Structure 1
Amino acid sequence: MQIEIDDLRRPQVHALLQEHLDNMYELSPAECVFALDLARLKSPDITFWTAWEDGILLGCGALKQLDASQGEIKSMRTPKNLRRRGAGRAILAHIVDHARARGYAWLYLETGTNSAFAPAQRLYKAMGFEYCGPFAAYQPDPHSVFMRRNLL
């Protein structure tokens, strides 16, 4: 599996991001969906990675800089038909390593409360994240779970 910085130009990446957005809107009310679309992922404060194996897109994830000491994980996704291959864990570990290399003290994420998000929450917990309150501009929301990991 290769993980690489992605320029968000390939059709496979567009399709995976659309799958992600469609699924988020299926699982949560529209006003509680914080997933980023293609245009917003191109922001200069976001680095976006994809994981590939033999030309097949296995997943993606992004790191958004919140400030000089904090980052947020965004757009973690593996295609529904290609799950359970370790891509999510590999991308998450890659993002954690990059956040640490940037000198971040904390890495945060927001995910949903629907039972469909339970596997993601288990992965985050297994990778050292703990539940916390809202961070950055997020507000308390019954459809959101907030997690963080200390990188020091």
Structure 2
Amino acid sequence: MRITEGTLDHPAVRELITEHLKDMHDTSPPESIHALDLTALHAPELTFWSAWIQPRGSLAAGDSLTPGDSLAGCAALKELGPSHGEIKTMRTAPQARGRGVASTMLEHLIAVAAARGYSRLSLETGVEDYFAAARRLYARHGFTVCPPFGSYVPDPNSVFMTRALR
């Protein structure tokens, strides 16, 4: 699997983000949807990555995507301040589910956040059963439930989680 930064212009990525937003609107009340659209994902405080599976084996660090590469997932990291980051837009492509994509992306985000000097990494997810697998994933990686952070307010449809990095 190859993780690539800044691929929001790729058609497969745009389709996955559109699917992600549709699922959020199908699952959560409108006032509790905190997912970002393609325009918001271009904000300067956000860094976006996508994960790709290559049919011919792994690529070297400098190689670029080829037409045969398959989108496996995506995630973004939002800087809330000099020591605090937020995970946004974690999504695994349907054809790649069950292959460790989410864990790989989450480990990448944790490593980037630590390298940036963040002392804390947080996220918001839903309370519905639809989000149960995501909550379990985050808990397995050391995230615990916390109060709302940043500009979030208490919401009965949201679960806020955080993890100390140092």
Q: How does 1:88-107 map to 2 (within 5 A)?
A: 88-107=102-121
Question: Highest CA radius of gyration, 1 or 2?
Answer: 2
CA distance in 1, matches of 2:6, 2:71: 11
Structure 2 SS opposite 1:124: helix
Are residues 1:120 and 2:134 paired?
Answer: yes
Select the residue among 54, 77, 93 that pairs with 1:79: 93
- Structure 1 residue 4 displacement after superposition: 1.1
Are residues 1:7 and 2:7 paired?
Answer: yes
Are residues 1:66 and 2:76 paired?
Answer: no
| Counterpart residue type for residue 71 of structure 2 | L
- Structure 1 residue 31 displacement after superposition: 1.2
Work out the number of aligned pairs and report it.
152
CA distance in 2, matches of 1:40, 1:142: 24
Kept after mapping to 1: 8 A contact 2:7/2:50: no
Give structure 2 stretches of 5+ with no counterpart.
Answer: 55-68
CA distance in 1, matches of 2:4, 2:42: 15
Give structure 1 stretches of 5+ with no counterpart.
Answer: none
Structure 2 SS opposite 1:104: coil
More deviation in 80-89 or 37-46?
A: 80-89
| Counterpart residue type for residue 104 of structure 1 | Y
| Counterpart residue type for residue 113 of structure 2 | A
Structure 2 SS opposite 1:73: strand
Are residues 1:133 and 2:141 paired?
Answer: no
- Structure 1 residue 136 displacement after superposition: 0.4
CA distance in 2, matches of 1:83, 1:117: 14
Structure 2 SS opposite 1:145: strand
- Structure 1 residue 128 displacement after superposition: 0.7
Kindly report the root-mean-square deviation, in angstroms, between the aligned alpha carbons of the 2 structures: 0.7
Structure 2 SS opposite 1:74: strand
Structure 1 SS opposite 2:8: coil
The percentage of aligned residue pairs carrying the same residue is 49
Kept after mapping to 1: 8 A contact 2:72/2:95: no
- Structure 1 residue 80 displacement after superposition: 2.6
- Structure 1 residue 104 displacement after superposition: 0.3
Once superposed, which parts of structure 1, at least 4 consecutive aligned residues long, lie more than 4 Å away? none
2:71 is aligned to 57
CA distance in 2, matches of 1:51, 1:148: 23
| Counterpart residue type for residue 22 of structure 1 | K
Kept after mapping to 1: 8 A contact 2:52/2:72: yes
CA distance in 1, matches of 2:87, 2:32: 17
